[in-house]
Chains A and B, each alone.
Chain A
Amino acid sequence: MEVRVANVRKEFERFPALHDVSLDIKSGELIALLGPSGSGKTTLLRLIAGLERPTKGRIFFGEEDASQKSIQERNVGFVFQHYALFRHMTVADNIGFGLKVRHGPSRPSAQEIRRRASELLDLVQLSGLEKRYPAQLSGGQRQRVALARAMAIEPAVLLLDEPFGALDAQVRRELRRWLREIHDATGHTTVFVTHDQEEALELADRVVVMSQGSIEQVGTADEIYDTPNSPFVYGFIGESSALPVKVEDGQVWIADRPIGLSAPHAPQGEATLFFRPHDVELVEECNGCIAGTVAASRRVAGTRRVELEIGGERQRVEIELPVDHRAAQKSRVAFRPRRWKLFPTA
Chain B
Amino acid sequence: MTTAPAKAGWRFRQPSVIPGFGLTLGFSLAYLTLIILIPLSGLIWRSAALGWADFWAIATDRRTINALEISFGTAFIAAMVNVVFGTIVAWVLVRYSFPGRRIVDAMVDLPFALPTAVAGIALTTLYAPNGWLGSLLAPLGIKVAYTPLGIIIALIFIGLPFVVRTVQPIMEEIDKEVEEVAATLGANRFQTIARVLLPGLAPAIVTGFALAFARGVGEYGSVIFIAGNLPYKSEIAPLLIVIRLEEYNYAAATAIAAIMLALSFVMLLVINLVQTWSRKRYG
Contacts and interface: CB of A to CB of B under 8 A. Distances in A.
A72 B189 CA distance: 10
B273 interface: no
A152 B184 CA distance: 12
A97 B33 CA distance: 49
Interface string B183-211: 11111100100011001101000000000
A135 to B, nearest CB: 3
A149 interface: yes
Contacts of B180: 51, 71, 78, 80, 84
Contact of B283 (A74, A75, A77, A136): A136
Given A80-B181, A84-B175, A88-B199, A75 B186 contact: yes
Nearest to A87: B282
B186 A88 contact: no
Interface in B148-188: 175, 177-178, 180-188
Given A78-B184, A101-B188, A135 B282 contact: yes
B282 A98 contact: no
Interface string A93-136: 00001100110000000000000000000000000000001111
Given A133-B282, A134-B283, A135-B282, A102 B177 contact: no
A153 B182 CA distance: 12
A87 B201 CA distance: 11
Contacts of A149: 181, 185
B178 A86 contact: yes
Contact of A135 (B177, B181, B183, B283): B283
Nearest to A77: B184
Contacts of A74: 184
A259 interface: no
Interface residues of B, number: 23
Interface string B261-283: 00000000000000000000111
B1 interface: yes
Contact of A97 (B1, B187, B200, B202): B187
Secondary structure class of chain B's binding surface, majority of residues: helix
A101 B184 CA distance: 11
Contacts of B182: 86, 97, 101
A76 interface: yes
Nearest to A70: B183
B171 to A, nearest CB: 15
B2 interface: yes
Interface string A32-75: 00000000000000000111000000000000000000011011
Interface in B1-29: 1-2
Contact of B1 (A72, A98, A135, A150): A135
A82 interface: yes
27 contacts: A71-B180, A72-B184, A74-B184, A75-B186, A80-B177, A80-B180, A80-B181, A82-B175, A82-B177, A84-B178, A87-B200, A88-B199, A88-B202, A88-B281, A88-B282, A89-B199, A98-B185, A98-B187, A101-B185, A101-B186, A101-B188, A102-B186, A135-B283, A149-B181, A149-B185, A150-B185, A153-B185
Given A51-B180, A86-B196, 17 more contacts: A51-B183, A51-B184, A71-B180, A78-B180, A78-B184, A80-B177, A82-B175, A84-B181, A87-B200, A88-B200, A88-B282, A98-B185, A98-B186, A101-B195, A136-B2, A136-B283, A150-B185
